[in-house]
Amino acid sequence: MKKISLTLTGLFVFATAYGAAYKIPEQSTRSMGTSAAYFAGADSADTAYYNPAGMVWIEDKDKTLMELGAKYIFLPRINFYGVARDPLGSTPPVTNAKTLKEEFVVPYFHFILPAGDRTRFGFSFVTPFGLSKRWSADFQRATAEEFTLKTFEFDTTVAYQIDDRLSLGAGIRALYSTGEIKYRREPNYRINMNGESGIYFGYLLSAALKLSDDLRAATIYRSEIKPEINGMAYGHLGLYPISTEGSVKVVLPAEWRLGLSYDYSENTTVDLTYEITFWGEYKKLDINFEDPVAENNLGRPKPKNWHDSKTVRLGLKHKFNQKFTGLFGIAYDETPIPQSTQGFELPDSNGWIFSVGGLWNPKPNLELGFAYLYVQKFDRKVNNSYMNGEFSDLKAHLLNVSLGYRF
């Protein structure tokens, strides 16, 4: 049976517009506090996710490391002023429309287990991609009343120390997704779709190198994963009812990172990370309906033609005393979305990321962490087949709290 098929890379419930497209790199207190520059110098339980090869360089190799945490995400309204072109070809007025505000709480965890002098195992539960965007204005709802995807990833990683300077890491990624799409232009048409995927797998490869006692380098590659979400679609086309099974294919792109970490002093570490996300795999948004009437009217493919995006991140970690360590970060983030295919399902632009955080150790083996991250993206003028206007107020606020323990 032919199913509804979408090649989507613009869906996820937990976040939007604070990473390139719908990516969420901040998956721990240290990462959020350093604007995700934290990588080559990873030294806690979250090393299992960020730099698995570096797990063998962490002190206390006979101990288990743990971090449990949660992110609070607040997405203010994004404003659009201009013309939102109707897919049916009617003449739209100039509008001043806003998205709805979004708030989410997202949990995560990281564990590292001892396994001998040269080997360690790690486990992480994270949510590495994200988008939720809802519009209430008529012409924006015509293509993007709601675009939402929930993705959950569990990683199992292992590290092996080759010699005193080089270690290698690898891991298996298991990912599960759910999603929902709504768009309508009453009384002409309305579509509501939702569903879930099975478990899809990917992999990661990493390497860590000690260039000197104070300077470390690391690299990691995460593979692309393409989960297919199966479910139902309901709605109407005029007086014609729509009710059918469907599927959504989501492209979660590959990523490559290269980082340096330098111990400026006994108490201060600087991290520099360069990152490429291979969004170029996203070529089109293609919605195909089993019903030929719906297919001919609402199933025309939309070109996207995204490009690979690059991000540069700089982070600072400073130990003020035996009980408190401060975190600071800044990053410049590039959008992969060209002006020619920018849509309302994911308003995005280039922008800056700023962050601050802290780690408090009331006891030697106990750690309480907090971090705040702010994203400010540039206003963006867009003139294409979907719109002629300007997006503004592309911002995001994130808070992270965590509990860490060594035992």
Q: What CATH number is given to the structural domain containing 91?
A: 2.40.160.60
213-251 tens-digit pLDDT: 999 999 999 999 988 888 888 889 888 898 877 777 778
CB-count exposure of residue 241 (10 Å: 0-12, 13-18, 19+): exposed
The helix or strand, by DSSP H or E, that contains position 137, with its residue range, turns out to be none
Contacts of 246 (CB under 8 A, 6+ apart): 3, 4, 5, 193, 195, 230, 231, 232, 233, 289, 290
Count of CB atoms situated within 10 Å of the CB of 385: 12
Distances in Å between the alpha carbon of 384 and those of 300, 341, 377? Answer: 17, 7, 20
At 20 the pLDDT is: 54
Structural domain span for residue 372: 4-406
Q: How far is residue 313 from each of residues 245, 257, 275, 291, 336, measured CA to CA in Å?
A: 43, 11, 8, 48, 17
Q: How far apart are CA 116 and CA 55, in angstroms?
A: 12
Beta strands in 116-238 (DSSP E): 119-126, 131-134, 146-161, 166-185, 189-196, 200-210, 215-222, 228-237
In tens digits, what is the pLDDT along the chain, a chain of 407 residues?
444 333 333 333 333 434 556 778 899 999 999 999 999 999 999 999 999 999 999 987 788 999 999 999 998 999 999 988 766 666 667 778 888 888 888 899 999 998 888 999 999 999 988 777 788 887 788 777 887 878 899 999 999 999 999 999 999 999 998 888 888 888 888 888 888 888 999 999 999 999 999 999 999 999 999 888 888 888 898 888 988 777 777 788 999 999 999 999 999 999 999 999 999 988 877 777 777 887 777 767 778 889 999 999 999 999 999 999 999 999 999 999 999 988 888 888 999 999 999 999 999 899 999 999 999 999 999 998 888 999 999 999 999 999 999 99
* pLDDT tens string 116-155: 889 999 999 999 887 777 888 877 887 778 878 788 999 9
User: Residue 379: enclosing H or E segment and its boundaries?
Assistant: none
Identity of residue 9:
T
User: Can you point out the beta strands (E) in 238-365?
Assistant: 240-250, 255-263, 268-277, 284-285, 302-303, 309-319, 324-333, 351-363
- Please list, in sequence order, all residues whose beta carbon lies within 8 angstroms of the beta carbon of residue 70, skipping any fewer than 6 positions away: 105, 106, 107, 108, 400, 401, 402
Q: What angle do CA 269, 262, 32 make, to 5 degrees?
A: 50
Q: Which backbone phi and psi does 373 adopt, to 5 degrees?
A: -130, 135
Residue 370 in tokens = 């907090």
What is the domain count for the chain?
A: 1
Please provide the DSSP assignment of 238-255 as one string.
TTEEEEEEEEEEE-B--E
**How far apart are the C-alpha atoms of 329 and 185, rounded to whole Å?**
43
Contacts of 163 (CB under 8 A, 6+ apart): none
